[in-house]
Structure 1
């Protein structure tokens, strides 16, 4: 049986995180563990998480982009990457104002109840000219490829087009040809 991984920086901030937990316990959120960290949910929806990092401990709001940040305390941890998540970082217990934390957490709950959330964008992958040219050399390959679900098509496209060298692309294409003709997805052997 595998050991469950836990967030390894929480011990460094254990007293501070316990303070945040005692504040959040005053809300209707349910504490759980996800991805090895402390996550609070409402109606099985992720609302906030708690964690410790090297230089700070934090509350992250999964849909924090919708919070009116009156006190300007929220930061985007991954500028240009993270769309909805926002963090509120602390470096000491003295920075934690119970009323303000409750205000932000309750606003996050209200936003979730009102359906405010970032929906993940579906990424479309366009096949390269190389991929299309090789595929179009054999009508049976085209038909078999088109019979796959968009998800499986995407796997094939990314497998070929992620290669940097033309020789590697050719080698990979030769490898997938029998799979296409046999109606076997690129990663089918790993699926249950």
Structure 2
């Protein structure tokens, strides 16, 4: 039996509350995601032992009933969720308070802004390659910071110099084409 079948009563209860709002239902990441002005506000999901109401920018919610949790402390920055292990725990007026505040926060563009990461430390093998091949350096510099970081981490995690050299030779054509290390896995 699927989690959504086990928690059908609770899911329907949450959906009924959400349906009374202006949120628009979409499907992302295999879940019902609710948006306003194309901004993600919340999602609901059934797990093995509970149903959860996730707020994308929950870090900004006042949390008057002290029910919100950070799913992965130290990793999840903005998202917060409210767990329910039975329909008896669900109070429509309390849930509505959180949902309405989340909607207003989204309308007011109150969103978590990722922190700027520290400057990228280029490994020696890459610096040497750049001095020998300016076209390669220019191609690397034109990549997004995210793609640059992927390549730097890929090279830096190789413990042996021989492995670094092999990796460098493999990534060079990809960099010259403007591709990221893992682009083929992204949709």
Shorter chain as denominator, the TM-score bin is 0.7 to 0.9
Q: Is the 8 A contact 2:34 2:40 kept in 1?
A: yes
| 2:167 is aligned with 1:175 | no
Matches within 5 A, 1:123-134: 123=117, 125-134=120-129
Change (3 A) 1:11 1:68: same
Q: For this pair of structures, how many residues does the alignment match?
A: 180
TM-score (norm 1): 0.82
Q: Which runs of 5+ in 2 are unaligned?
A: none
Change (3 A) 1:89 1:126: same
Q: Is the 8 A contact 2:32 2:43 kept in 1?
A: yes
Aligned mate of 1:144, from 136, 148, 155: 136
| 2:110 is aligned with 1:108 | no
Change (3 A) 1:104 1:23: same
Q: Which runs of 5+ in 1 are unaligned?
A: 1-7
| Aligned-pair Cα RMSD in Å | 2.5
Q: CA deviation at 1:132?
A: 1.5
Change (3 A) 1:147 1:171: closer
Partner of residue 54, structure 1: 48
Change (3 A) 1:176 1:47: closer
TM-score (norm 2): 0.84
